[in-house]
Every structure is written in C-alpha cells, then in structure tokens.
Amino acid sequence: MTKEEVLNKILKLSDESKTAREIGAIVGLTKNAVMGRLYRHKTKNGYVPAPTSRYAFIRKYRKNPAGIVIGVDKCTVCYKDYESYSKYDRFCNSCRKDINSKTSWIL
C-alpha cells in the first residue's frame, strides 16, 4: 500500500472510533506511528495548537528557580571554587561577568 492509501485507511478507521493501537494492528504500524501520521495530517490541513498548549512554544533550559546550590565546582578560567546552581555551570560569577562583557555570544 502507498502512503496515501495507508493514511486514508487510518483516517477511515479513526472515524469508526478505533483506538490508535487497534488501527496500528490493522495497518501494521505502532500506536505512536499512527498518532504521528494523524497529527501531521491535521497540521497540514491548517490545525494550529492553542497558544496555551505546551506544544505551541519552544522549550528552553529552565534555570534553578529556587536558587538551590547543588554543589561546589572549580571555575574553568580561574580555578577557584564556586557554588554551582546547575550541572551546566562552568564559571564563577566574576569570570562570567568578564566573559559576558567581552563577548556577547558566550553564555
């Protein structure tokens, strides 16, 4: 079967209130593959997620909101010990300020 035939069969079976698992068993796909094809078909036909949906925005690295110290590390520049708030911290505060003032593309 071609991709269009598979998609038409998936759409027909979903209109008959079959679950994604049942459709996958009939068509020979996994449940997630069926869900992905239905979602892509929906977006091609003009569907846009609601602005409050968790799928409507780009996820960014979330900083430590409580400011909890997770450990003590050595600064990559000056080798002094500093309190680390994230596993991604590499510089103490004074070196971070120096680097940010010299180059805007780092950190």
Half-sphere exposure of residue 57: CA atoms within 13 angstroms, side-chain side: 7
Is the pLDDT reported for residue 98 higher than 90? no
Instruction: Tell me the CA end-to-end span of the chain in Å, nearest whole number.
Output: 50
Could you tell me the pTM of the whole model? Answer: 0.51
Report which residue type is found at 60.
Answer: K
Both structure tokens of 77: 């520049």
Confidence of residue 50 (pLDDT cuts 50, 70, 90): confident
Stretch 14-27: mean pLDDT, rounded?
96
Reported as a pLDDT band with limits 50, 70 and 90, residue 52 is confident
